[in-house]
Amino acid sequence: MMWGRAAHVVAGWLLVASLVYLGSSLEAVRAAQLKEAKKYTEQLKSARTAKEKVVALQELGRLAAIQKSLVAEALPYIYKALEDKDAEVRGAAAHCLGQCDEPAEKVVPLLHNLLKDEKQPEVVRIGAARGLAAMGGQAKAALPTLRTIAKNADKKDRLGKEAKQAAKAIASLIKDSK
């Protein structure tokens, strides 16, 4: 009987120690993510090359998908990157912005306009389609445009493929939310 009680006490202590360890591990992960977010925000602000900006935007988008607050400091620079002279940067910014969980009434029109603008390079329009897909059901207003682009594209057209995937993603999320 005494060994049974001792086993319960030890098991209880192990459980408590595990929970404390898990809590401190989560704090360490959060701290590392914040450090990463600051690093990539700084990189986006001070980058000299388009490639550096694109990498920073991709990483900020990844972090925003985990938790929006991680990239709150970077948001003004992400919006500014939508106007960059380099098309790759604008495309990466469009995709990143869609991952940032910003208000749909603000972001959907921006991304939708980039998507519709046939003067924009394909990479920018693809980034806009990916950003809209990342927004899910909030991007419902862009569905007709995405479907039209997908329908009118030939089989080798990258934009057409991305538009089709984005339309499917948005439509399935709308259907699932009902």
**pLDDT in single tens digits along all 178 residues of the chain:** 455 555 555 555 655 555 455 555 667 777 888 899 999 999 999 999 999 999 999 999 999 998 999 999 999 999 999 999 999 999 999 999 999 999 999 999 999 999 999 999 999 999 999 999 999 999 999 999 999 999 998 878 899 999 999 999 998 877 666 5
Residues with Cβ within 8 Å of 33's Cβ and at least 6 positions away in sequence, in order, are 63, 66, 67, 70
- 96 and 76 housed in the same domain: yes
**120 Rama sector, left if φ>0, alpha if ψ -120 to 50, beta otherwise:** beta
Question: Which domain does 43 fall in, by range?
Answer: 31-102
CATH label of the domain that carries residue 77: 1.25.10.10
Residue 9 covered by a domain: no
| Number of domains observed in the structure of the chain | 2
Say how far apart CA 75 and CA 81 lie, in whole Å: 10
- 98 and 115 housed in the same domain: no
- 120 and 98 housed in the same domain: no
* Cβ atoms of 130 and 161 closer than 8 Å: no
Tokens found for residue 174: 């709308």
Say how far apart CA 116 and CA 120 lie, in whole Å: 9
User: Last residue of some domain: 68, 102, 136?
Assistant: 102
Say how far apart CA 109 and CA 2 lie, in whole Å: 70
